[in-house]
Amino acid sequence: MNRLRPVWTLLLGLLITLLLFTVASAQTESDGAFRVDRLNALIFMALFSIVILIYTRWAKSGKKLFIRKINGLDEVEEAVGRATEMGKPVLFIPGLQEIDEIETIAAISILGRVAKITARYDTPLMVPVRYPMVMAAGQEVVEQAYIEEGKPDAYNKDIVRYVAGEQFAFTATVNGIMMRDRPATNIFMGAFFAESLLLAETGNAAGSIQIAGTAQPSQLPFFIAACDYTLMGEELYAASAYLSHEPLLLGGLKGQDWMKIILVLSILIGTILLSFGVGDWFYDLYKSV
């Protein structure tokens, strides 16, 4: 990881330069080159980055970090094992968003871990996707997983395949796969929309074990109703750290927790101050001008 040190230094350096630039330019209006109205966001972002980097460094130095149990992720291996025993495939859907969506990237990370397990046990894996770019990234990850498990010959390019670009055409295709191929395990990770219940309910009718994870709050109730385990919100982003137990990734989670504490405190302070009618200045700190 030493090779990454210059990158960190560069990031911090650039952030500090930006801060200095802001102070030096001392603009009072928001129509200059620099958006003074977004200074609050810049300070928060710098603080956030620094806290995460500090914890990542601590983790690197060997400090043990605790991560709470996430049932849905613990069950992934179990669920793939069940598919192996039944001789049926595992179906993995990395959401219905493009690769530029961070939820999709989190899903692709989890796909890598799932592919390693399916490669290890020679369990068939099916990954239908909605976007060609997600397909390219998914193929890369799955191929790497099969190579790392020493089974490059078992890898087939069509494990990850593009099925349809339209939301409900994709849903119809996947529902068809569920009813015809009867996968033993369905894993839905990433950004889902109105199709969440259509997919999960069909999987439930087909008798599959289902694990879902999404950061879309409006779809969580549907997954909770129809799946066996559901990862909520940030649990999805924590998945790669949780599954890999890589200390560097766990460090990031710890930093994130601290930022959440800062946010909760801000909300509490703001609520109290505003309730007593003396919090306008505090409210303005968080507002875009």
**The one segment of 71-79, 117-125, 259-267, 270-278 that binds other proteins by CB under 8 A:** 259-267
**The one segment of 51-59, 73-81, 82-90, 270-278 that binds other proteins by CB under 8 A:** 51-59
Q: Is 116 exposed, middle or buried (0-12, 13-18, 19+ CB in 10 A)?
A: buried
Nearest to 35 by CA among 57, 18, 17: 18
Q: In the structure encoding, which two tokens stand for residue 217, read together?
A: 């709050």
Rounded least distance, CB 136 to other proteins, Å: 6
- DSSP secondary structure, 211-263, as one string: EEEES-GGGHHHHHHH-SEEEETHHHHHHHHHHH--HHHHHHHHHHHHHHHHH
Site for other proteins contains 41 (CB under 8 A): yes
Site for other proteins contains 12 (CB under 8 A): no
Site for other proteins contains 105 (CB under 8 A): yes
Listed in sequence order, the residues at least 6 apart from 67 whose beta carbon sits closer than 8 Å to its beta carbon are 238, 241, 242, 250, 253
List phi, psi (to 5°) of 162.
-80, 130
Beta carbon nearer to other proteins, 35 or 120: 35
Q: Tell me if 72 sits within 8 A of 213, measured CB to CB.
A: yes
Rounded least distance, CB 71 to other proteins, Å: 16
Binding residues for other proteins restricted to 204-223, rule: CB under 8 A: 204-205, 215, 217-220, 222
Site for other proteins contains 89 (CB under 8 A): no
Rounded least distance, CB 79 to other proteins, Å: 19
Site for other proteins contains 126 (CB under 8 A): no
**The one segment of 61-69, 70-78, 128-136, 269-277 that binds other proteins by CB under 8 A:** 128-136
Applying CB under 8 A, among 74, 78, 85, 98 the residue interacting with other proteins is 98
Beta carbon nearer to other proteins, 72 or 112: 112
Q: Tell me if 116 sits within 8 A of 148, measured CB to CB.
A: yes
Q: Is 207 exposed, middle or buried (0-12, 13-18, 19+ CB in 10 A)?
A: exposed
Rounded least distance, CB 217 to other proteins, Å: 4
Site for other proteins contains 228 (CB under 8 A): no
Beta carbon nearer to other proteins, 90 or 155: 155
Binding residues for other proteins restricted to 130-189, rule: CB under 8 A: 131-133, 135-137, 140-145, 148, 158, 161-169, 171-172, 176, 180
Site for other proteins contains 52 (CB under 8 A): yes
Instruction: Give the span between the Cα atoms of 123 and 89, in whole angstroms.
Output: 6
List phi, psi (to 5°) of 246.
-70, 120
Binding residues for other proteins restricted to 232-251, rule: CB under 8 A: 232-238, 240, 244, 248-249
Site for other proteins contains 263 (CB under 8 A): yes
Q: Determine which helix (DSSP H) or strand (DSSP E) holds 129, and give its type and residue range.
A: strand 125-129
Applying CB under 8 A, among 72, 89, 95, 112 the residue interacting with other proteins is 112
Instruction: Give the span between the Cα atoms of 154 and 158, in whole angstroms.
Output: 11
